[in-house]
């Protein structure tokens, strides 16, 4: 079992809390002594180390565990490459809706092919009927871990990361795929030889096609809201149809947190911050970072407009607005990477 602790006041919170309810600080994860990964248990899904899946994937060790899956490090003996394998937890593997979501995730993510997106390579099934996804293993640091380690980010470095995330999202949106759960835990920063680092958007597990079909509708039916509360757009909170502008809104919240270490909406709980997004206006970036360029504050403010029509229409448009902020020497080199 893991917990998260406030670096300012030392108060501990159970998962999935991300911010201190006392002072709003970003929580730092603390693993219990002897823990073998994130979370615990996992049943059959947590006991695959040492097994050979489909006569091809040598499972080496568990990397982490979430509410829906366990992730392992493995070796693809056919390709000679290191991969990550995400296995659905047993209690959810028995649920038809969860299996449908996993198959949908694989079907969508296999279409993604962009340096700023982590694709799904294969959908398989382990002994006992446990479905699993094979993905490239990315050696890097999660954006959430970077934030916890370094605090509020330098503007030029943060804008460079955000523009790369925009590039990855734009690619997905062009294929009519919406991420739906964009957050710092779903962005990996991968070191690049002689070229800084590459931001990679991961886990399209809550992705859906913009043009919904009956199969999709069943997965998001009545009262089931998928996503992470702190980063949901107002229309996602209300259960309305989503498009690219919902991901732009979520990225606006991610950006605000990157530069300030806190959220643009205040509340003592995730539920209160959700209500604030429906009824109030976000804090301005320069309230917390007076040194922020006014153009960057304007870009984030537009991304966080409550009405989708008032936001940037595309992730690419958001990237262009971010590129107009000071620091153009660094950002200009990224321009040719954007579609």
CA distance 187 to 144: 8
Whether the model pTM is above 0.85: no
pLDDT at 56: 92
pLDDT at 6: 65
| Residues annotated as catalytic (active site), given as ranges | 181
Task: Express each pLDDT in 133-154 by its tens digit.
Answer: 899 999 999 999 999 999 999 9
Range 41-67 average pLDDT: 78
pLDDT at 45: 55
Residue 210 vs residue 261, higher pLDDT: 261
Spell out the domains of the chain, with CATH numbers in brackets.
2-31 (no CATH), 43-136 (3.30.200.20), 141-337 (1.10.510.10)
Helix H, strand E, coil C: the string for the chain is CEEEECCCCCCEEECCCCECCCCCCECEEEECCCCCCCCCCCHHHHCCCCCEECCCEEEEEEEEECCCEEEEEEEECCCCEEEEEEEECHHHHCCHHHHHHHHHHHHHHCCCCCCCECCCCEEEECHHHCEEEEEECCCCEEHHHHHHHHCCCCHHHHHHHHHHHHHHHHHHHHCCEECCCCCHHHEEEEECCCCCEEEEECCCCCCEECCCCHHHHHHCCCCCCCCCHHHCCHHHHCCCCCCHHHHHHHHHHHHHHHHHCCCCCCCCCHHHHHHHHHHCCCCCHHHHCCCCCHHHHHHHHHHCCCCHHHCCCCHHHHHHHHHCCCCHHHHHHHHHHCC
Residue 44 vs residue 17, higher pLDDT: 17
Q: What is the mean pLDDT of the chain?
A: 79
Residue 334 vs residue 155, higher pLDDT: 155
pLDDT at 37: 30
Report residue 253 as tokens.
């919240």
Is residue 330 within 8 Å of residue 160, measured between CB atoms?
Answer: yes
Least confident segment among 24-28, 156-160, 240-244: 24-28
């Amino acid at each position: 079992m893991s917990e998260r602790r406030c670096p300012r006041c030392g108060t501990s919170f159970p998962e999935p809390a991300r911010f201190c309810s006392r002072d709003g600080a970003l929580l730092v994860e603390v693993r219990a002594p002897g823990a073998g990964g994130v979370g615990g248990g996992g049943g059959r899904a947590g006991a695959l180390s040492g097994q050979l899946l489909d006569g091809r994937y040598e499972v080496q060790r568990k990397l982490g565990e979430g509410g829906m899956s366990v992730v392992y490090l493995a070796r693809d003996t056919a390709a000679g490459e290191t991969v990550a394998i995400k296995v659905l937890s047993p209690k959810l593997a028995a649920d038809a809706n969860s299996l449908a979501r996993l198959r949908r995730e694989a079907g969508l993510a296999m279409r993604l092919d962009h340096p700023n997106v982590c694709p799904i390579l294969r959908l398989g099934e382990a002994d006992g009927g446990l479905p699993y996804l094979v993905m490239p293993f990315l050696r890097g640091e999660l954006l959430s871990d970077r934030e916890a380690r370094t605090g509020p980010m330098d503007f030029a470095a943060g804008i460079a990361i955000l523009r790369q995330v925009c590039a990855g999202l734009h690619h997905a949106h062009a294929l009519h795929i919406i991420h739906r759960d964009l957050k710092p835990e779903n962005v990996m920063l991968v070191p690049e030889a002689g070229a800084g680092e590459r931001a990679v958007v991961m886990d399209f597990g809550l992705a859906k096609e913009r043009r919904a079909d009956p199969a999709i509708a069943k997965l998001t039916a009545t009262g089931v809201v998928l996503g992470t509360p702190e980063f949901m757009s107002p229309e996602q909170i209300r259960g309305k149809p989503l498009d690219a502008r919902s991901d732009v809104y979520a990225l606006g919240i991610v950006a605000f947190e990157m530069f300030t270490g806190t959220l643009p909406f205040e509340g003592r709980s995730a539920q209160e911050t959700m209500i604030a997004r429906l009824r109030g206006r976000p804090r301005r970036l320069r309230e917390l970072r007076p040194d922020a360029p006014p153009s960057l504050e304007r870009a984030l403010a537009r991304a966080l407009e409550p009405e989708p029509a008032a936001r940037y229409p595309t992730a690419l448009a958001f990237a262009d607005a971010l590129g107009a902020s000071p620091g153009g020497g660094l950002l200009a080199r990224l321009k040719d990477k954007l579609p």
